[in-house]
Structure 1
Amino acid sequence: MGGLDVKVRTKPCKWCGRPLKQGRWWRPKRYCNRWHAVKYRVVSVVANVLDSI
């Protein structure tokens, strides 16, 4: 009989794929750090612009 057996949920970072521990269920983490979020948004904006040309 040990302590509480808590299952830690993980999701991969959208940029690099590193597993992130999800501490809250109402707003999950999507990126490792802020720069990965910026890179992801910049790449998606550039891709949308190039698709519209």
Structure 2
Amino acid sequence: MENPKLTKQDEDISAPEFTHEETQDDTKHGNWPEVLGVVLTAVLVWLMFAFTG
């Protein structure tokens, strides 16, 4: 049940192979996941300070 493609680390992959895999994934979400994460983290920190004093 060992898949060498899944266990291969980024350091073991050559640069052209890594670039090919990244373009093959075709996940173009933009920056909204990072922005949403920062906003939700800020809200969580604010809630902690607002209710715990």
Could you say whether these structures have the same fold, taking a TM-score greater than 0.5 normalized by the shorter chain as the test?
A: no
TM-score (norm 2): 0.39
Higher RCO structure, 1 or 2 (CA under 8 Å, sep 6+)? 1
Question: Whose helix proportion is higher, 1 or 2?
Answer: 2
TM-score (norm 1): 0.39
Select the structure of larger CA radius of gyration: 2
